[in-house]
Structure formats: structure tokens, C-alpha cells
Structure 1
Amino acid sequence: MSENLLIHEEHGILRLTIDRQARMNAIDLDTMSELGETINAAQTRPEVRVIVLTGAGKAFCTGADLAAAAAAGGNEAAPETVMDRANDLVRAIVDSPLPVIAQVNGPAAGVGTSIALAADLIYAVDTAYLLLPFTSIGLMPDGGATAVVAAAMGRVRAAELALLGARLPAAEAAAAGLITRSLPAEELSAQVDAAAAQLAAGPRRALQLTKAAINAATLAHLDDALAREKTGQVELLTAADFLEGMTAMLTRRAPNFDGAVRPIAHPAK
């Protein structure tokens, strides 16, 4: 069990908390894998009735841990592995027969946004925001974001978030139907606890079939989106623009994208 994932179970509610506060809960590959595996394993345990996902401290999840990628020269794992783990986590949330609640206690960025939006109920503190900053570092949205955001908000609003990397405050996300509700900080935990308790006491099979029916009607193209995102992101993760964008972000300077599509030149091993 990783020290970066806190697991607590009580009264049929499984609470999973990403705890990497020094990195604003930026998620590394091991934590991503453990989170997905824990969600998948929960469906085999009849005592678990609902799952709550949240982050420790001031953030929900600020995306993939680029500091770890930079420390490894941008090559800490094969791009296919990175994408498979992200996609497996999103599919675990969507495919789980258990209701999943996202308690967005602070910013959700990058794949953190995708994790939150994969949940069935999404409650966010009113100071939180959603952010898809991928293009600013030479990447594209992933984790199914290209499908989920566009389905909820429409093509043009989705393009603003994805192409310009515009922040979407929680209140606007709720008004657009992207999240369930935006709440003051002092009300967030109580709302999540009430929803989780109601679901935990509900009819498990009826909730499972209801979730499956809603997802079938609204996320029918999720697999296609995940496949497109994987293909595109694998290409981008091996391009020079990503290394430039990541280096610029970590050194707090503006990136210099020259438009050329070049593979990253890694030293021979």
C-alpha cells in the first residue's frame, strides 16, 4: 500500500484520498495504478457500497507529476504505459458497479480533472476550479476529457478549455452541468457525507443498473475517445514540444514552441 493513497472504510463507504500535498496531489504512476486497483477490488466486497474520491490538503489532484518526469529526463516510463495507467483508472471509475463520488476539495487540473469528471456525482468547493493545461506543455487532454467535457458543455466551450487552457471555476462548471454542485467549504463534507450515506443504504443492484444505463446513454463514445487520446498523447509525449513545455513550466518561463514536430533526443542507454 502506497503512503500516497489514504484508504478508509466505514459504514459501507470507501474513502480514497490522494495524499501528495507537497506536490498539490500531482499523481505519480504508482499511485495512479494503486487507485485504479483499489477501485476495481472494491466491487468484489459486498460490504462496500459507495466510493468517495478526494485529495488531502488544498487540492484535489493537479495532474500527472511532471517533476518526476523531469527528474527522469522525461522518460520515467514508456508513453504507452503512462496512457494505459491513466485510461485504466478512468475506466475503473466509470465501469465500477458502485457509485463513485468525487469530493473536489480544491483545484483539479490535467488528469485530475479527468479523474473527477469520471465520477457519478461531483461536488466541488466553490473556490475550486477545473483546468486542462495540456496544450501549454505540448500535450492534449486525456483520460476521456475530450469526450466528457464536450458532451456536457458543447464543442465550443470544450475547445476554450482545451485549446486555451482556460480555468473553469466550480460555480461555472456546475452551471454548465459538468459537475453536480458547487458548495461553500463549510458545506462540502456534509453534502458528500449525506450523499454517500444515502447511496450506502440504497439497493446495490438497482444503483448499479441505473449507473450502467446512464453511462451507456451518455458515454457511449468514451472508449473511442480514450483510444484517440492515447494515440495522440503517445506521439506528443515523444515530441520536442513536450520537453520544451515541461522544462519551461518547471523553470517558470514562457515556452518557445517553434512548430516543428521532432522526437525527443534521448541519450543512448
Structure 2
Amino acid sequence: MSAAASHLVHLDWREGAAWLTLDRPGRGNALVPELLAALRARIDEARQAGAGALVLTGRGRAFSAGGDVARFAALSGDSSDLLDWSREIVGALNAAILDLLAFPMPVIAALNGPVTGGAAGLMLAADMVVMSEEAFLQPYYAQMGFAPDGGWTALLPSRIGTARALEVQYLNQRLSAADCLRLGLASETCPPAQLEARVRARLATLAEMDAGTLAVTRANVWNEERRAAVARDLERELHGFLALIARPQTRERMQAFLAPLAAGEGRR
């Protein structure tokens, strides 16, 4: 991890657990290669240090806005550059998801705000999800003309059912924190100010359990064969993403999505 990227993901230790915080709040913690490289390095650091659990959260109003649409749009004039960038970013996201699935101890997502696009993969790779009542989950792929990545087709159907997962993506449905709780995507929801305390309570309970049992349980659930199957499905998502990202209609949809945001900046 480069020194320039190290500030994008912070690692703090609290009661034996590693807390990783995405820190790109000015861009909604949008995923870029530098942030994902920093995340993977921090995950590895926590693993090597023997963390009793891993907590992943974000700084600012959003957990993560997923891919940086403005960056995709800026590259859309050169299909070669756009494809190279897309391959890099989705490939790095896939690797980070697999790193989380392979982590030897429990993984908790503390969702401080919205989770959109490929950032869902960081949520879906967690064993437990504590969600602020202000957070929500939304795909945006069909609106943007992107192919789903981040586990929307590789992980979500097994969590909430195939038909429900397809409906959410076809219609770009927004799942509130309450919706996520009802569907089993969230373990609990809470007011924003209580998020850290609720996570700490879960960590305190985990600390009372036998660490060897926790490790074997996670290793047996996310065994090598199961992770290999997820890796194949994530690779399929990458190919689908590359097939759609450079189309003229996708460029037009990105521009339409960004136009109101640019107009709002101009009024400030």
C-alpha cells in the first residue's frame, strides 16, 4: 500500500477487534483502486495481527457510493482507457470481497449510511450487519446501464431469494434499513448515534466465546470450495461489466445521472 493511499482506509484497534474505516467522505467513500488497495492491505494487516474480529465502516454520511460514476464518465470518451479502468476497479473489488470472505474471524459491517452499487459486496461479505436507520441499499445498475458487480448476482440471490434479488435490481428498488432487517440482510438497525455502541455490544459477546470455535465455524462455512464458487461468479460479473460499460447508451445514462449533481454544484 502506498503512503498516498494509506489515509483512505484507517485501522484502529478496540478491545482486540480491528476497525477499518473507509475515509473518502468527499466522494461518498466511492470505490477507486487506491481505496481498494488500502482496504486489502488493512484486511491483511488485521489478519496477520490476529484480530479477534473485523469491523468495516465508513466516515461521513455514506458507507460507500460504490463505483465513482464521475470517474467512469470522465473516461468514457476513450473506450480503451474506460475498459482498463473498469477491469482494474471491478477486479480489485472482487479481490477485496474474497479477502473478507477468507478472513479467519467474524466480520461485522457497521453501515453508517447508504450502500450503493458495488459497495454492496462489502456488506454481503460480512457475517453480521449493524445498520443505521438512515442507511439504505440500492443497486442503480439498470438506471446507469452498468452490469451488476460487487456480488449483486454472485451473493445476493442466495441471501434473499432469486426472484426478490432480480426484482430489486430490475426496478432499482431502494431497500431501507427496515427492509434489510426484514429480508435478513441486516442483523439489527439502530439510530445513527448508537451504531458504534451496538457493534461494541456484539464484539463483547464474541469476546466471551471460544476463539477457536469461531474460527473453525467461519472457515467451515466459507470453505475453499464455496469461496471458489463465489470467485467464479464474481469473475462473471466482471465480464458482464466490461461488456456494457463502453456502450454509447451507458455514457448517455451516466451523463444524465451526473447532470443534476453538476447543476447543484453550480448553484452553490
Residue number among 234, 238, 241 corresponding to 1:233 in the alignment: 241
Deviations 1:169-199 (A, max 9, x none): 1111111112211222233221101112333
- The structure with the largest helix share of the pair is 2
Match of 2:219 in 1: 212
* Dislocated runs of 4+, deviation >6 Å: 217-220
Name the stretch that deviates more: 78-87 or 214-223.
214-223
Who is 1:96 aligned against?
A: 103
- Structure 2 residues not aligned, in runs of 5+: 262-268
Call closer, same or farther: CA 1:91–1:219 in 2, change over 3 Å: closer
Instruction: Report Cα offsets for 1:63-96 as digits up to 9, x if no partner.
Output: 1112233334463643322221010010011111
1:250 aligns with 2:254: no
Following the alignment from structure 1 to structure 2, what is the Cα–Cα distance between the partners of residues 5 and 147?
Answer: 25
Q: What are structure 1's unaligned runs of at least 5 residues?
A: 254-269
Q: How many aligned residue pairs are there?
A: 252
**AA aligned opposite 1:167:** R
Partner residue, 1:38: 42
Range with greater deviation from structure 2 (170-179 or 214-223) = 214-223
Alignment-derived partner of residue 203 in structure 2: 196
Aligned mates of 1:6, 1:184 — CA distance in 2: 23
Q: Supply the distance in 2 between the matched residues of 1:29 and 1:168 (Cα, whole angstroms).
A: 27
Match of 1:155 among 142, 162, 174: 162
Q: Secondary structure at the match of 1:146?
A: coil
Secondary structure at the residue paired with 1:147? coil
Q: CA deviation at 1:220?
A: 7.3
Q: Percent identity?
A: 32
Q: Tell me if the contact between 1:83 and 1:234 (Cα under 8 Å) persists in the aligned partners.
A: no
1:52 paired with 2:55, answer yes
1:86 partnered with 2:93: yes
Structure 1 position 61 matched with structure 2 position 70? no
Residue of 6, 10, 31 corresponding to 2:10: 6
Stretch of structure 1 that moved more, 69-78 or 88-97? 69-78
Q: Which of the residues 116, 135, 141 maps onto 1:109?
A: 116
Superposed CA RMSD? 2.2
Structure 1 range deviating more: 128-137 or 9-18: 9-18
**Higher deviation after alignment, 66-75 or 136-145:** 66-75
Distance (Å, rounded) in 2 between the aligned partners of 1:197 and 1:236: 45
